[in-house]
Each structure stands twice: as structure tokens, then as C-alpha cells.
Amino acid sequence: MSPRTPVKPTSSTIKIPVPKTPDLPESLRPSLPTGPHASGLRPHHLDNPAVSGGQAPALGRPAINTPTEQNLQLTDLPDQARSATSRSLESYRVSTSRALPPPDPQGLRIIKNRHYVDLDSGGTVMVAYDTQLETYRAKRSNELLPSGPALYRIGNGSTWGTEPMAASVDQATASPPPRKRPRLVDEPAAESKPSAEDSRAADTPRASAVVVAKFSYSGQPPYTRLAGPDSQGYYRLKKFDADNTEDSVYAFSKDDDNWVLVDPPEGRMDANGQSLAAERLPAWTDHEIWEHYGLHGNDITRFRSEVETSGKQPQWANASQAGKTREQLIRALKWAHPDKSAEERGQILQGYNLLPSMLPRLQQALQEHARVPDWAQTHKLQSATETDPRRFDLLEQEVLPHIRNIRNFELHSLDPDFDAYYTRPFLEAFLLKIGYRKNIHGCLYRTDIPAMFRTEDRTPFELARDGCMLARENHPPGSTTKKALSATFSLSDAKNYSVGGGPGIGQLRYNRQTNKYPGRRPESESGSDADSEGSADESSSNASQAASSSASGSTRQPSEAASNGSGSGAPISLDSERGYTTYRHRQITSFIYMIDTRNVEVVPGQENRFFNHDPQRSNFFPYDDIEGHISVSDRGVSAERIWLVNSSLTRAASVRAIHQAAGHTAADIESATWSGVDNSAVYDQLIDQVAEAGGTVLNWPADGKIFADDVTWPVSRS
């Protein structure tokens, strides 16, 4: 399809519960935390490294005599905003920036309704607007909502950065960012103050950690790595402005972008700063205990002691809710398989082929009983029984209601790692059961999708005369069995595309769909790029002559594709003429066609990304959010399958019926279209004329959102 016209970005708001941020470790507890910067990352200063939004900054060196009587509890930012700042922009950069149009006045590079921005640090990223942050955020092409850092336009230029304009103001004169007020926990009366021993027996551990960035977008990273990881997962870091290595701190690696500063358990470090092996619960490393429960310092020692005694998770240790559901389950499986790696536990989880509704139950059972429950073992055996006719019934009941939302890129409740929960044979058999097939490229396709929608510059008269719509976009192989014709599952989405697009050069440089090579605009012969009155008259004359010639039958005879559909037969020969004069380059009218795709191979983009993700295989999935590829032979899509939709998206009629209704006026209507007249109303009238004459039309409500599955084709009168 042609490039989409820009539309205002929208973003659904998802409310995510905000986890309570625990207290800071005693060695790193500041006297007063500073609130997050507007971008979610603090400006980089020598004495205050950048940290994640909502986290307290690490001080220059650990305080030895820091008062601990005052218990600080920080109010945290929502996870959605905080996680956006903790991801590196590196994983969001795209490598196709040369194919993008230049930035518009708002600094956005827009193509096919996707927005890109150039970074001040180099590179280009895709973005989407976040209504909560009121700015754009980096996103990946397969994401419904953006997950990357917030980005801000730098002045009125064409580059963007992670800091808003206020961050670049001279710090000596700029107002300081608003401080986040700590919420003070009421201290008990002196006579009822608990002893140290009582505090140790409290239900909730007081240990916590501080997250700091590994990198800085604006300069020197806040910490330098000295050593690690050791056998327990500890790194030794030195603050970049520290005087010597004696001022080092310990940390775990939280992710690719962040350190988490922690206190090792007492007596567990040797003279060289290396951790000693744990005597109790040796199958668990300190890093795993922190990763699973957020514990460090002496709480790790307490955890090891109680688990070795009881064999279960202590009640005071709360499992971390960080990460995806699958990551949490893999962590929980550590109880049942303590000697297995995370990758091995992931394979074990996959072997159970659990229903989506079973996943929370499994996680709870593992936390409470430290073993896989019997019902999960029973389900595993049942799922492996290939002869059971009801093998997939329960999974089908849970998955089918979400297929439409997945296909149409709408919110749904299935786990985004759905395909990773199942063994490959089980998943492929299930997908076959619910109507999917695999083609020669390994892509999922369906043949029961009623219709697809496509915006085109080809008139209904040309398609009716030729008897087909050729696939002329030259998509690289890898999606459909035959040639790929791009289309969308949403009728309203098709309206976002504009006329004249194509792979590098506009399709309006071709006079007919059978032209193999583009022509030349009349004014290009004289070396002028500007439109002139003379060239306009010449173009109009050429268009009129061409339309008359087409209407009189001087063009190629209608192909047999009309009767053969998109299937067998000799391919249509293309016209190899070069250097001909174009007469369609002024066209501004576009057409939305509905294509009958019953019993035709359609490769849906989102369903392949969701059910068929395989990083080891290089498939060419449809790119846009609601895009699918129709498998088309060299003979194209039969005109019998093509219907023109009116400009209000409420009625459609077949291109053959429209051509017949136009009669001898078809040449004049088409000539006006090619000459640059916006005569879409004339085509709307022809559709109404078909309806008034008793012809077959399809009607929809004026404000309805029509998707592919909503189309019901009329019963044939033959």
C-alpha cells in the first residue's frame, strides 16, 4: 500500500500497580531523596550520578556514621514511567533511517503512520506519543505501547534527547527540580521502642538497594567497574570521582542498563573483596536471592538459615514481581529445581504446556510448597497424549476469544510470551487445530479471513478492464507462498494511506499497472522540475487520450484471472516500454478496495509475531500494525474479488458493476482523475447507482469500526 498520511498518535493508558519501594540500605541512606527529573532520569552531575526515576541517588561514598533512627519510605513513580528510563536507547535504534523522509516542522520523520526521530547522540528510533508523560517515547516495531525512554525535542531543531529543555539551562541560574517529600513512618514511644532482637524478628526485612545507571547519555558513567562478577554475582564498583579504590561499593547487575548497589552479608567477603561460598543453601547464589526476593546484606544470611531449616520460602520474604510472568515463574521453579539454570528451568516450564489460567496457580503453589503441584504433572501427561480428541479443548476456549484483538493490534490479556510456554510439537498441533497453516517460509496463514482492505491509485475502471489487480510492490520473499500483496485488516486504517507511494518511486510514474518501468513527466523532458501551465495542458491531453483509448478497447484484452481468481494460468505479460510520457502523475484521488480473500492464503502480521516468533528464523512478517499479506500469483487478484468502498466507508460495490454503471462516461471520469481532479464523489455516485439499479452492494453503519471478520459476503445468485 502507499504510505499512510500522518495522524495524531494515540496511546491507550494501562494502569500498572505501583510496587512499594523499600527502605534504603543503611550504608547508602541519604538524608533527603531528590525527586525524579521530568524525563525520568536525573541530570548528570559530578556529585550525583543519574539514577532511575523514583529511586534515590547514591552518595559519593558510603556514609559510615549515617543516622538510622529515621525510617524513610519513598513515594515511587509508576512502573511504566520508571521502566521507560531504565532501558537503553541502543536497543531501539533502527538501521533504515536512510529510507525515511526528512523531519517535518515538528521534528518527526513519518512514514506509513509510523513516527521516527533523530537522536542528538546519533541514530534514529521509532517513537509513539505517551499521553501520561505528554511527550514521545522510544518504541519497538512490535510493541503496542512504547516501552522506551521519554524523548524531548531539542529547541526547534530536528534532533531529540532524553532531557527536556529545562535540563540544559545553566545550573547556576536554573531552578532546582522539585524535591520528593519523604513520608516519615511514625516512631513508637520511647518506652515501647522495640529492641534490636525484636526488630530482627519482624515480618518484613528492612534491607533494600539503590539502582544506578550503568551509562550516562550526557557524559561519564556514574560508576566504574573494578571487578566481578564473582561466584555469588557481586561486582565491585568505584564512583568515577572517588579518590581511590578503597571507596568501592558492591553491586549486582540488575539488567543491561542498571547496577543495584547492595551490602554483602557480614563475614562473607575475603581480604580481596571476593565473596566466600555460603555454607547454607549453597544451590542459591546471593544474586539469585536478591533477584527473587530483593534481599541483600544480613537478610540473605537470615533467608539461608530459615530455608535450610524449613525447606520453604520464609513468610517475611516476598517474591519479586519484577519482570514478565514467565520470568517470575522461572524464578519460582528454583524451589523445585534448585540445581537447574534459568534456561533449563524455562525448558522445564515449557514441557508442562499449561493453560494461561494455570500460570498464577503454579506460581503460588511453588512459593507455598516449594514443589510442582500434582495437578500440573497430570496436565503435562494429558497434553502429551496425541490421541486424546479433547487435548486442545480447554486451551482453545481460553485463546480463541483473543484472536481478533491480536490480529487487529488491540489490547488483550494473553501473555506476550505465549509461544514460549509450549513445546513446539504441541503448539504447532494446537495452531493447526484452530485454523492456522504454515507455508514454505514457515509463516502462519489462514484461508478463512473474509476480506482485506487496501488503498490504491489504480482506478476501478483499470482493474475491471484488466480483469485483475497485480501485486507490484516487490516485497522481498519470506512471507507468502507466491507474491505478497499488502493489505490491512481494518477499513478505517486503510483510509490512513495516501496515493502515490511505492518502493522508492511513486506508482503514479506508471501509466498502467502492466508497465514494467516508470515513465517520465512531461516537464522533465525540458529539464524543469516545476509544474507549468503548458505541461499541465499536455498532461491533461495525454490523460484524456489514454482514457479514451482504454475505454475503446485498444489496451490489452481482459485476462483470464477474472474467472481463475488468484491462481493458475500463464502470467500476464508486462509492457517493457521505457521513456514514455506519464499522464497520471497529477492524480490526487485514492481508492479504498475491499478484496475477497475467502480461500486465499493470508499471512497476518500480528498473529505471526505472537504465535510464531522464532529468533532463529528470518521470516518477513508484514510490517505495519494491522497489516497482512495476500498471496497473489503472477496473474494478480481477480477483478471478481475486488470491491470499491465509498469515501464515507459505508458502502461498497464490485469494480465490474461500477465500470458497467459508468458506461461511456468512464473515460471522462478516469481522465479527470488522472489530471488531478478530486472526483471521489463521482465514484461514490456510481456505487449508489449500482445499488439503485438493484445491484449487489455491501452496507455498513456510518460510525462503525469495520474489520476483516465483520464482512459478510452476499450469497451468489447463480
Cβ-count burial 217-236 (b if 16+ within 10 Å, e if not)? beeebbbeeeebbbebbbbb
Residue 61 has pLDDT above 80, yes or no: no
Residue 440 has pLDDT above 90, yes or no: yes
Q: What is the DSSP letter of 522?
A: G
Q: E-strand spans in 472-536?
A: 483-488
Residue 301 has pLDDT above 70, yes or no: yes
Output the CA–CA distances (angstroms, integers) from residue 492 to 455, 589, 643, 645, 698, in the order listed.
Answer: 11, 17, 16, 11, 16
Cβ atoms 654, 643 nearer than 8 A: yes
Cβ atoms 522, 509 nearer than 8 A: no
Greater confidence (375 vs 564) lies with 375
Greater confidence (281 vs 210) lies with 281
Greater confidence (399 vs 268) lies with 399
Output the CA–CA distances (angstroms, integers) from residue 11 to 92, 128, 146, in the order listed.
Answer: 18, 8, 9
Which residues contact residue 533 at a Cβ distance below 8 angstroms, ignoring those fewer than 6 apart? none
Q: pLDDT class for 96, splitting at 50, 70, 90?
A: low
Share of the chain above pLDDT 90, in %: 44
Q: What is the mean pLDDT of the chain?
A: 77
d(CA 414, CA 502) in angstroms, rounded, equals 35
d(CA 267, CA 265) in angstroms, rounded, equals 6
Residue 1 has pLDDT above 80, yes or no: no
CB neighbourhood size of 5 (10 A): 15
Q: pLDDT class for 190, splitting at 50, 70, 90?
A: very low
Residue 296 has pLDDT above 60, yes or no: yes
Q: What is the pTM of this model?
A: 0.66
Residue 33 has pLDDT above 50, yes or no: no
Q: pLDDT class for 111, splitting at 50, 70, 90?
A: confident
Greater confidence (392 vs 66) lies with 392
Q: pLDDT class for 57, splitting at 50, 70, 90?
A: very low
Q: Name residue 125's amino acid.
A: V
Greater confidence (475 vs 677) lies with 677
| Closest residue by Cα to residue 15 from 109, 157, 142, 132 | 132
In this structure, what C-alpha cell is assigned to residue 72?
A: 524513610
Share of the chain above pLDDT 70, in %: 71
Mean pLDDT for the stretch of residues 379-383: 94
Q: pLDDT class for 65, splitting at 50, 70, 90?
A: very low
Residue-level pLDDT at 2: 54
Output the CA–CA distances (angstroms, integers) from residue 697 to 152, 453, 642, in the order listed.
Answer: 49, 16, 12
Most confident of the ranges 244-248, 368-372, 558-562: 368-372
d(CA 432, CA 166) in angstroms, rounded, equals 55
Greater confidence (90 vs 318) lies with 318
d(CA 118, CA 109) in angstroms, rounded, equals 8
Which residues contact residue 52 at a Cβ distance below 8 angstroms, ignoring those fewer than 6 apart? 40, 41, 82, 85, 86, 211, 212, 213, 258
User: pLDDT by residue (tens digit) across 656-711?
Assistant: 999 999 999 999 999 999 999 999 999 999 999 999 999 999 999 987 689 999 99
Q: pLDDT class for 614, splitting at 50, 70, 90?
A: confident
Residue 432 has pLDDT above 60, yes or no: yes
Mean pLDDT for the stretch of residues 341-366: 94
Q: Is 703 left (phi over 0), alpha (psi -120 to 50) or beta?
A: alpha
Residue 601 has pLDDT above 90, yes or no: yes
Output the CA–CA distances (angstroms, integers) from residue 195 to 200, 305, 314, in the order listed.
Answer: 9, 21, 22
Which of 212-216, 221-225, 510-514, 714-718 bottoms out in mean pLDDT, i.e. has the lowest?
A: 714-718
Residue 234 has pLDDT above 50, yes or no: yes
In this structure, what C-alpha cell is assigned to residue 670?
A: 478516469
Mean pLDDT for the stretch of residues 446-462: 95
User: pLDDT by residue (tens digit) across 22-32?
Assistant: 444 444 443 33
User: pLDDT by residue (tens digit) across 251-261?
Assistant: 999 888 889 99
